[in-house]
Amino acid sequence: MKKINLTIFVIILSGFCFPLLSQENKLIVKTEEGKDTISKYIYGHFAEHLGRCIYDGIWVGEDSPIPNTRGLRNDVIEALKGINLPVLRWPGGCFADSYHWKDGIGPKENRPPIVNMFWGNVTEDNSFGTHEFLDLCEILGTEPYIAVNVGSGTVKEASEWVEYVTSDNDNPMSRLRKQNGREQPWKVKFWGIGNENWGCGGNMDASYYASLYKRYATYCRAEYRIASGGLNDDPAWTETVMNSTKNHQDLIQGYSYHHYTVCNTWEKKGSATNFDENEWFKTISKNFQMEENLKEHMAIMDKYDPDKKIGLYADEWGNWHDVEPGTNPGFLYQQNTLRDALTASIYLNIFNNHCDRVKMANIAQTVNVLQAMILTEGSKMIKTPSFYVFKMYKVHHDALLMPLEITCEDYVLNNQRIPALSASASKNKEGQINITIANVNPEKSIPTDLTIDNEKYRVTGSEIITADKMNAYNDFDKDEMVYIQEFKSYKQKGNNIQVTLPSKSVVLLTLSEK
Ligand code: AHR
């Protein structure tokens, strides 16, 4: 039996744990002990010039037969509005360090094409650039997060981009913006200084990048400048960047961190839809591993920034499967099943529970790429199981994190074990408590004893995402298989709620004051 306080969540992949009796699954919500806010930016997204994310997925152009607003797909906009995107990161990803923003402004017929060297070597006509991206953000009511080019760009190019977008002084860049039809500056708070500069962003050493970072950040006058960070379990990069900026913390407001879950190997990742319980288990246990990796990076940040002024921005995360058979391997188009919904729930619970440091997260990616919210095929569109998790979790946006004590049984397969439950809780501005819980066991429903430390709350809402099969997914021209349904398997008595969490499910319970 393990008692797991979510703030010090421990994953035990092997060991001596005896399976718990079902009545020992317990959650206790401490309704008066909240102190940290779950930033809505944790529910952010990422849209790169990659495959069919931008072109086809978001942008079809004004002349397309697909209904659009100034070239942006209406169906996709409408769907995305349903999950209140708080922030959208663009233009990459690897693409960012090959992108020269001036090629993407002005009359479309004058824009030079660009070959997308990282993703399929396809030629893009640059019809989607700064103005189109910021138009999308305005339509969606989302905050833009722009990554500048460090790998193949210059400090001048980057600082001019910030000026072009945000300056209201009279200067060459604001004149150029006005000449291109935009009188008022846009409000863009978030600027990333490069992307994965240890890899596709220039294959730099950490110390070289750290020096460059300070140079770029000095001239990019933005409210939030975000340093490009390490990947999964590489703390050395974090150590170097934090150390190098320790006497210049006015230049760094965020530190980026990427975490992808690959079920097998990078060469053979595994099918998005055709998998067995072994692969389910492997994926879910690697999802949980995110917390350990995160904690390692946060401990380094704590050393240099004990007051937690610098936010950790998990600005790429999610499951990375093999591409769908027959599709361009460089386009990273994958389907999305109930397994991905569980993944989204686990990651988001982890981010919520560490919101004192995690200030933003951006799932990769919004449309048609990796763990997408939306898939399109010509004029058709579907919402994925991951979309529905983001819809369900809207309740946590800017809500106060409630400490949650969780004691749970293990999910055991082939003598390996991981916790069967993942959860987080928050209190919103109206005083409602929202608890999100995932049961990751695909075979077993779990009776759980939920205690609220205060008598005044009663359950006023409950939802579930589940399906009959662990690889259920939504497909074109078919009825949806995975979506949000009403959840009824609970019974409240005083401040105690007996909940039966169905196998492979994500549940939301909302409690209001009596
Ligand atoms: O999201 C796909 C790619 O993954 C991004 O371009 C890159 O930053 C990461 O390696």
**Which tens digits make up the pLDDT trace of 170-208?**
999 999 999 999 999 999 999 999 999 999 999 999 999
Residue 143: active-site member: no
Read off the pTM. Answer: 0.94
* pLDDT class of 15 with cuts at 50, 70, 90: very low
Q: Grade residue 21 by pLDDT with cuts at 50, 70 and 90.
A: very low
Residue 4, pLDDT above cutoff 60 = no
Query: Given a cut of 60, is residue 17 above it in pLDDT?
Result: no
Lowest mean pLDDT, pick from 4-18, 222-236, 392-406, 436-450: 4-18
- 75, with CB counted inside 10 A (0-12, 13-18, 19+), is middle
Domains and CATH numbers, the chain: 37-400 (3.20.20.80)
pLDDT at 285: 97
Name the residue of 98, 198, 234, 316 to mutate for ligand 1: max ligand atoms within 8 A of Cβ. 316
Residue 196 annotated to the active site: yes
Query: Does residue 5 register a pLDDT over 70?
Result: no
Average pLDDT (311-337) is 98
pLDDT in tens, 426-449: 999 999 999 999 999 999 999 999
Residue nearest to atom 5 of ligand 1 (CA): 93
Task: Quickly list DSSP for 270-297.
Answer: --SSS--HHHHHHHHHHHHHHHHHHHHH
CA-CA distance, 463 to 436, in Å (whole number)? Answer: 9
Residue 387 confidence (pLDDT) above 80: yes
> What confidence tier does 132 reach under pLDDT thresholds 50, 70, 90?
very high
List pLDDT tens digits, range 110-119: 999 999 999 9
Express as a percent the part of the chain with pLDDT over 70: 95
With residue 162 as reference, give the H or E element that holds it: helix 155-166
Catalytic residue among 132, 143, 163, 196: 196
Q: What is the per-residue pLDDT for 230?
A: 77
Top mutation candidate among 116, 196, 259, 261 for ligand 1, by most atoms within 8 Å of CB: 196
Strand-pair category, 490-493 with 496-501:
antiparallel
Say yes or no: CB of residue 316 within 6 Å of ligand 1: yes
Whose alpha carbon is nearest atom 6 of ligand 1?
93
Q: Is the CB of 195 under 6 A from ligand 1?
A: yes
pLDDT of 289 above 50 = yes
The answer to whether the beta carbons of residues 215 and 242 sit under 8 Å apart is: no
Ligand 1 site-directed mutation target among 193, 200, 369, 371, most atoms within 8 Å of CB: 200
Residues 6+ apart with CB under 8 A from 75: 66, 67, 376, 379, 381
Per-residue confidence (pLDDT) for residue 232, from 0 to 100: 67
* Range 393-413 average pLDDT: 97
- Which of ligand 1's atoms lies nearest the C-alpha of 196? 8
Distance from C-alpha of 438 to C-alpha of 447, rounded to nearest angstrom: 13
Q: Is pLDDT above 60 for 222?
A: yes
CA of 405 to the centre of ligand 1 (A): 35
- 415-424 pLDDT tens trace: 999 999 999 9
Q: pLDDT-based confidence at 24, cuts 50/70/90? A: confident
Per residue in 63-72, pLDDT tens? 999 999 999 9
Task: Give the residue carrying structure tokens 């579907």.
Answer: 382
Q: What is the mean pLDDT of residues 298-308?
A: 97
User: Does ligand 1 come within 6 angstroms of the Cβ of 315?
Assistant: no
Q: What is the pLDDT of residues 93-128, one digit of tens each?
A: 999 999 999 999 999 999 999 999 999 999 999 999
Please, which residues have CB within 8 angstroms of residue 439's CB and are 6 or more apart in sequence? 420, 421, 445, 446, 501, 502, 503, 504, 505, 507
pLDDT at 374 exceeding the cut of 50: yes
What is the position in ligand 1's atom list of the atom closest to the CA of 46?
1
pLDDT tens readout for residues 251-271:
999 999 999 999 999 999 999
pLDDT, tens digit (0-9, with 9 covering 90-100), for 325-351: 999 999 999 999 999 999 999 999 999
